[in-house]
Amino acid sequence: MRNSLGYGYMSTTDKLSNRYQKQNPLTQYPRPPFPRQPQNRPGSVNKMDPEPDHGEDSYVGFGRLKGRKALITGGDSGIGRAAAIAFAREGADVAINYLPSEEQNAQEVIKLIKAEGRIGVAIPGDIVEESFCKELVTTAVGKLGGLDILVNNAGRQTAQKSISDLTTEQFDNTFKVNVYAPFWITKEALTHMGAGASIINTASVQSFDPSSSLLDYAQTKACNVAFTKALAAQVAEKGIRVNAVAPGPFWTPLQSSGGQPQDKIEKFGGSTTLGRPGQPVECAPLYVLLASQEASYITGEVMGITGGEMPY
């Protein structure tokens, strides 16, 4: 079986065990240079070179989310896909949201969830509409039989060299996807969540060290951080925890489909301390931790995972 990440031929069993052996993190996953690979938004994991590792053949669960019900936006690819796979292997039933054009990638995830004997629910739709956000939550709750974990992960990122190139249409859509949608979804989800539930927002290193080409995106990620901290204080009395993950450069379709200029794709992640981009599976354990009871004393926190330093 060919390992798409370039490590030669390994069986699935070998790959599963290999991930948990001591390795050099500098060379554990691909390093730049990478080929230019423009895609139309929202992009597909199957068209990336090298293809990302979401844990399909490498994540092993230990039952830390047994019986939980999770909803993940942007669950067809990237970090959301990795979280969905990990949650299922940790014992959770999982509903994922995605754009209708991402159906192929979404069905790959649903197949992996069901392979673990868990309920997998695919809910396509555009979260820029408030009415759909409410419908998304009620559909997930109905098909899963409840809701214990919400991951607000879907995002829009489009690089523009100058503010003069940033249209009002793009600015508005970035805020609708990255700021409005998590507000709408969370507001509805909280009517179904009780003590012990967990909300995880995907922020970004851009929240704290914004890139000049990501003016609108960086603003929305700063909003995610403020939302996380304020909401955590508001719902603590209900026994609900709220945290955020702030990734650095991760190898996902968000980057190759306009999130970065193609000249930056060629050297993507190379300026980090580890000299490479992160693979989505490397984010998964952090989402599992924050969703699990092991994180019972963690709320209102923003946890970075950046390869050692601010990459931009």
Q: Which residues are catalytic?
A: 217
Q: Which residues of 162-177 are buried (b: 16+ CB within 10 A; e: fewer)?
A: eeeebeeebbeebbbb
Token pair, residue 240, equals 């609900």
Question: Long-range contact list for 261-268, CB < 8 A, 24+ apart?
Answer: 261/159, 261/161, 261/213, 262/36, 262/37, 262/38, 263/36, 264/159, 265/34, 265/36, 265/37, 266/32, 266/33, 266/34, 266/35, 266/36, 267/32, 267/33, 267/34, 268/32, 268/34
CA 221 to chain CA mean position, Å = 13
311 SS3 class: coil
Task: Tokens 């601010």: give the residue.
Answer: 310
First-to-last C-alpha distance (Å) of the chain: 36
CA 137 to chain CA mean position, Å = 18
Q: What is the CA radius of gyration of the chain?
A: 18
- Give how far Cα 71 sits from Cα of 2, 12, 133, 308, Å: 32, 28, 12, 30
Q: Which amino acid is at 134?
A: K
Contacts of 237 (CB under 8 A, 6+ apart): none
198 SS3 class: strand
Residue 228 region, left (φ>0) first, then alpha (ψ -120 to 50), else beta?
alpha
